[in-house]
Structure 1
Amino acid sequence: MTSSSRRCRLLFGAGLSLLAATSAAARELRVCADPNNLPFSNDRSEGFENRIVDVIARDLGATVAYTWWAQRRGFLRNTLLAGRCDLVAGVPVGLEAVRPTRPYYRSSFVFVSRGDRPTVTSLDDEALARLRVGVQLAGSDAASTPPAQALVRRGMTENVRGYLLTGDYEKPNPPARIVDAVATGEIDLAIAWGPMAGYFAARANPPLNVVPVMPALDGPKGPMVFDIAMGVRREDEELRREVGAALERHRAEVDAILVQYDVPRLDAAGHRTETAAP
């Protein structure tokens, strides 16, 4: 082989390698997420949803491209449904606007309390009426979340204080305010969404108690337990299958991430939940 032929072969091989590398790097996994919402996500990719998205992207040979948007009213309308991204992490199964993957965890609302306060495990516990209770609110409606609705149905309003999920967005992780209120003694007990409450309760000083709310279904419109999945647009079936398959392949890694973030789980961690299509 002449030196000229050898040089051509080397150049051709290098060109193929460059083409393959360029092709592999060309795919983006476009994700919309909140930049200020630990333990779920932030713009430093410190949340557990950031880490799970990284697992999926690695499996798909893609790079993650984030669009940051505060999770307030209109979040899906202004992000996924507006075409700004193709994937949103952490959506409840049954949300009509999106097509979900199979759930990767199931969690619930929880009671959060200090060690020197009564342990409450049920919405029907008589002690609730004697405690200062905090609930999360999604807006100005005083019964805008399942726990708030449950307390209203029981006639408890005078001893209940609402904490907006949106909160003061100038401060880190606004939904965590309700857990801070328990830790400082501002309230005796909080009823809050488990993944957020579990994360901040475990990091309080001293750590706070976290107990799943019972009953799991408080009336026909009062679910306290939700299966959580990744969401895509309803027409993006191929992407849904790809993301779902990646979650299945890396189930042990995803479970380990959720453990690290103290996510309370009701799906016997590592076992399949069956509320979404395969």
Structure 2
Amino acid sequence: MRRLADITLLAALGIALPAHAEEPVYAPSLRVCADPNNLPFSNQAGEGFENKLAQMVARTLGWSVTYTWWAQRRGFVRQTLKAGLCDVVMGVPAHYDLVETTKPYYRSSYVFISRAERRLDLSSLDDPRLHALSIGVHLIGDDGNNPPPAHALGQEGIIDNVRGYPIYGDYRQPNPPARLIDAVSAGEIDVAAAWGPLAGYFAKQSSVPLAVTPIDDDGRFAPLRFRFAIAMGVRKGDDVLRDRLNGFIDDNKAAITALLASYGVPLVGSAQTASGGH
């Protein structure tokens, strides 16, 4: 029907058709669900490591890459992947219950980030020095669904000296979650507790030397977790694409690790998995 409509339109425009017009053959496309303003993960200019990873996958499979752009906040999976607008989310927690996940392709940790000149060398959220430092954390919402460091600090009674930075922020500005790291660079706060890939990337971009150290508290604040395995996510039941992606991960571990290292992503050897979210 679409071909007939196209032929009719061409005829109406007075454009001659070849004697034996054939349907064009298109290469399959890796249809990616992604945030257009969320470095170091993705942006519309293709500068994030998830953009680069999608290109690697597509090149290996002989496919092209297309995107459905959507702000990655609550409702992201429902409005994109589950709606059939795209087929893969390049970064989700392993065993994330809203999608079918691949095997993990990296593991990272929440970290402390501070100005290197301070030489704080923090590694635990129960460090007594945190009671006297100004601390920045990301806030997701007012329903208690905030990142693990925010909850752990509350358990330690560290509240009055904690400053929250909305993780969604002002979407009119580039990469809203980076405002937390900017606050450390500017000296507005002494230290931040943030997700490692975000902190590691923006520490590399900072004009002020910043120190990034993993939060080594897994088990101490159970059931809170600070290390997570990250996978790709496809629609439930899409085993064919999941298996292709698993094959890519198996065959390209060194290249994936090198890509992540180039973005400053702190990698850890073991991790908890998680579910829930968008």
TM range (shorter): 0.7 to 0.9
The answer on whether the counterparts of 1:29 and 1:57 sit within 8 Å (CA) in structure 2 is yes
Q: Which residue of 2 aligns with 1:34?
A: 35
Aligned counterparts of 2:144 and 2:121: Cα–Cα separation in 1: 25
Choose from 250, 260, 264 the match for 1:248.
Answer: 250
Aligned counterparts of 2:72 and 2:87: Cα–Cα separation in 1: 16
CA gap of 1:65–1:221, structure 2 versus 1, over 3 A, is same
CA gap of 1:163–1:141, structure 2 versus 1, over 3 A, is farther
Query: SS at the partner of 2:57?
Result: helix
Query: SS at the partner of 2:121?
Result: coil
Aligned counterparts of 2:130 and 2:154: Cα–Cα separation in 1: 12
What is the CA distance between 1:234 and its match in structure 2?
A: 1.3
Q: Which amino acid aligns with 2:187?
A: G
Instruction: Give the length in aligned residue pairs.
Output: 252
TM-score of the aligned structures, taking structure 2 as reference length: 0.86
**1:70 and 2:32 aligned:** no
Structure 1 unaligned runs (5+)?
A: 1-17
TM-score of the aligned structures, taking structure 1 as reference length: 0.86
Q: Which amino acid aligns with 1:125?
A: D
The answer on whether the counterparts of 1:142 and 1:162 sit within 8 Å (CA) in structure 2 is no
The answer on whether the counterparts of 1:100 and 1:231 sit within 8 Å (CA) in structure 2 is yes
Give the fraction of aligned pairs with identical amino acids, expressed as a percent.
51
Structure 2 unaligned runs (5+)?
A: 1-21
What is the CA distance between 1:233 and its match in structure 2?
A: 1.0
Aligned counterparts of 1:66 and 1:101: Cα–Cα separation in 2: 19
Q: Which residue of 1 aligns with 2:158?
A: 156
Post-superposition Cα deviations, 1:17-66, rounded to whole Å, max 9, x if no partner, equal: x99xx64x431111100000011000010000000111111111111110
The answer on whether the counterparts of 2:225 and 2:272 sit within 8 Å (CA) in structure 1 is no
Post-superposition Cα deviations, 1:157-201, rounded to whole Å, max 9, x if no partner, equal: 100011111011000000100000000011000000000100001
Aligned counterparts of 2:87 and 2:220: Cα–Cα separation in 1: 34
The answer on whether the counterparts of 1:217 and 1:224 sit within 8 Å (CA) in structure 2 is no
CA gap of 1:274–1:181, structure 2 versus 1, over 3 A, is closer
**1:133 and 2:135 aligned:** yes
Q: Which residue of 2 aligns with 1:166?
A: 168
What is the CA distance between 1:143 and its match in structure 2?
A: 6.1
Q: Which residue of 2 aligns with 1:220?
A: 222
The root-mean-square deviation of aligned C-alpha atoms, in Å, is 2.0
